[in-house]
DNA sequence: ACTCTAATTAGATGAATATCTAAATATTGA
DNA sequence: TCAATATTTAGATATTCATCTAATTAGAGT
């Protein structure tokens, strides 16, 4: 886990909102995009950053890409900062 | 608490390292700066961002400025993201 | 008041980020 | 194979960020 990539990823409000939406369950790229006043290409860039951080996983279903939350990465990163030992690179 | 300011603040590895150093106890600006290969003005900018996020508090002692960790802000912000309810602005 | 030390603010610069429009890719179904 | 749908990649631009050097502020001691 690249801890720095994770913290970079969650530094943007739109990306945190994406994670929050995915807590309710997996969702397609288009459905997620519908929750924002941003173009799909812009959202796609945000998805990529979340995927690079392994905060989400993606699965293709037909023409749609379904995004899933990977909660454990989030927990690991945040508990690292909250806990005693240093995990900052 | 401006949640976005908090997540912005902890997105940079140097600032996370500062927080980690302060877990051991309060420390002066100069002492903190000694832990990094960066100039003092650069560190000063990082301190300001942590202070804006209220992640640290500052107290003057003579010519020194002593930084203290404010752990509760960190806990609030991170548990907001980990928990069920959305706190993203 | 002067000087020393500690730290900050100001100003400049190069790199990174977020966003858009336009074009490309992938999958499905007629 | 052609067309439609879903999504991404490419390229451009404006803004923000991290960093440096130089100058400034604040306090303590002589």
- Quick one: DSSP state of residue B12? S
CA A53 – C1' C23 distance (Å)?
Answer: 28
Q: Return the pLDDT at B14.
A: 98
For nucleotide C17, the protein residue with its alpha carbon nearest to C1' is: A12
Q: Is A89 a residue whose pLDDT tops 60?
A: no
Among candidates A77, A33, A40, A34, which has minimal Cα distance to A55?
Answer: A77
Q: Is A28 helix (H, G, I), strand (E, B) or coil?
A: strand
Q: Return the pLDDT at A86.
A: 42
Chain A: give the shortest CA distance to residue B65, in Å. Answer: 24
CA separation for the pair A50, A33 (Å, rounded): 14
A10 touches chain B (CB under 8 A): yes
Percent above pLDDT 70 for chain B? 93
Mind listing the pLDDT tens digit for each residue in A40-66? 999 999 999 999 999 999 999 999 999
Q: Is B73 helix (H, G, I), strand (E, B) or coil?
A: helix
Instruction: Classify domain B3-82 by CATH number.
Output: 1.10.10.10
A83's enclosing H/E stretch is none
Mind listing the pLDDT tens digit for each residue in A11-45? 999 999 999 999 999 999 999 999 999 999 999 99
**Does any strand C atom come closer than 7 Å to the Cβ of A48?**
no
Chain A hits for B2, Cβ within 8 Å: none
Q: Return the pLDDT at B84.
A: 60
CA separation for the pair A15, A55 (Å, rounded): 10
């Amino acid at each position: 886990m690249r801890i720095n990539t994770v913290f970079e990823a969650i530094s943007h409000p739109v990306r945190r909102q994406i994670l929050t939406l995915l807590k309710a369950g997996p969702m397609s790229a288009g459905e997620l995009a519908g929750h924002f006043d941003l173009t799909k290409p812009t959202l796609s860039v945000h998805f990529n950053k979340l995927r690079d951080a392994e905060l989400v996983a993606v699965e293709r279903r037909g023409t749609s890409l379904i995004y899933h939350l990977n909660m454990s990465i989030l927990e690991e990163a945040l508990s690292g900062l909250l806990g005693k030992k240093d995990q900052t690179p």
